[in-house]
Amino acid sequence: MVKISVGVSADNSVSAAHIRELLELFNEAQQCHEPICFVPKNAGRFFCSGFDLAELIKLPDQQVADTFESFLLLTRAVFHSPSRVGVVAEGHAVGVGAMLALAADRCVMQRQAKLRFPEVLLGLGLFPDIVELIRYRTAPAKAELLLCDAVGMEAERACQLGLISGYHNDRTEMAEGAFELSTVAPYEATAHMKQLCRQGFLQSPIGPQLDGFMYMWTQAATQKRLRQFVENAPSGRS
């Protein structure tokens, strides 16, 4: 089992540089041909949506696009990996941060933690990769309802819908549950099975995804809504 620590602060916020670092660590870990698990360093939100909106809305547009591109690349690497991949999400997994949880083979969340996709609520476009991940885990009609309603789901409900694989009450139980990634089948056979099952998903070109997202991101109405959201959020995080 290869463990990769996630988070650069007390509440596990994730910078663009850290996302690139995680991708490098993940690519290295795959060479071991062993199960891989992303584990939060601290007890804060998992990936904290990947980004801090209060900081992100201050960045130049190109830097925002580059940040999201790095996350899409990490998510795709996890989804298409021949290795078995697990995620321990001890806190809330929101928006693009939840993508990593959905892309993994197994995701175990804290029972009280929530899974949520607020992009539509914020007036943002959705990356096709987000939609495809939820369609892969559930049904197309159910994916539409989850994304349009933008309602947070606690771990038990997310598990019932097939979005995650399990939930636990404390850190020790979570760690043990997430690491149930071993298989009696040989590595090559498991890798081939995963390739067949996931074939055809997450194939949309990343460039057009970013263009569509950034078009809505730069709209004045969207920027106003984002700033209001940041001001009203207790910690300024999504």
Contact 39, 88 (CB under 8 A): yes
Report the pLDDT value the prediction gives residue 237, as an integer from 0 to 100: 45
Report the pLDDT value the prediction gives residue 201, as an integer from 0 to 100: 94
Q: Is 218 exposed, middle or buried (0-12, 13-18, 19+ CB in 10 A)?
A: exposed
Residues 6+ apart with CB under 8 A from 183: 84, 190
**Does 30 fall in a domain?**
yes
**Does 217 fall in a domain?**
yes
pLDDT in tens, 129-169: 988 999 999 989 988 888 888 777 888 888 999 988 888 77
For residues 80-103, average pLDDT: 80
**Does 139 fall in a domain?**
yes
The mean pLDDT value of the chain amounts to: 82
Report the pLDDT value the prediction gives residue 18, as an integer from 0 to 100: 82
pLDDT in tens, 97-113: 678 888 999 888 888 77
pLDDT at 117 over 50: yes
Report the pLDDT value the prediction gives residue 219, as an integer from 0 to 100: 93
Report the pLDDT value the prediction gives residue 153, as an integer from 0 to 100: 84
Give the span between the Cα atoms of 70 and 116, in whole angstroms.
21
pLDDT at 175 over 80: no
Report the pLDDT value the prediction gives residue 72, as an integer from 0 to 100: 92
pLDDT in tens, 203-223: 999 999 999 999 999 999 999
Domain that holds residue 148: 2-232
Task: Give the residue from 222, 202, 190 showing the smallest Cα distance to 133.
Answer: 202
Counting residues of the chain whose pLDDT is more than 70, the rounded percentage is 82
Confidence of residue 191 (pLDDT cuts 50, 70, 90): very high
CATH of the domain at 146: 3.90.226.10
pLDDT in tens, 39-83: 877 766 655 444 567 778 888 999 889 888 988 999 999 999 999
Report the pLDDT value the prediction gives residue 124, as an integer from 0 to 100: 81
Report the pLDDT value the prediction gives residue 238, as an integer from 0 to 100: 44
pLDDT in tens, 11-25: 666 677 888 899 999
CA-based angle 56:61:67, to the nearest 5?
55
H or E, element range at 127? none
Higher-confidence position of 94 and 149: 149
Report the pLDDT value the prediction gives residue 13, as an integer from 0 to 100: 66
**Does 115 fall in a domain?**
yes
Task: Provide the domain count of the chain.
Answer: 1
**Does 238 fall in a domain?**
no
Report the pLDDT value the prediction gives residue 236, as an integer from 0 to 100: 41
**Does 59 fall in a domain?**
yes
**Does 237 fall in a domain?**
no
**Does 187 fall in a domain?**
yes
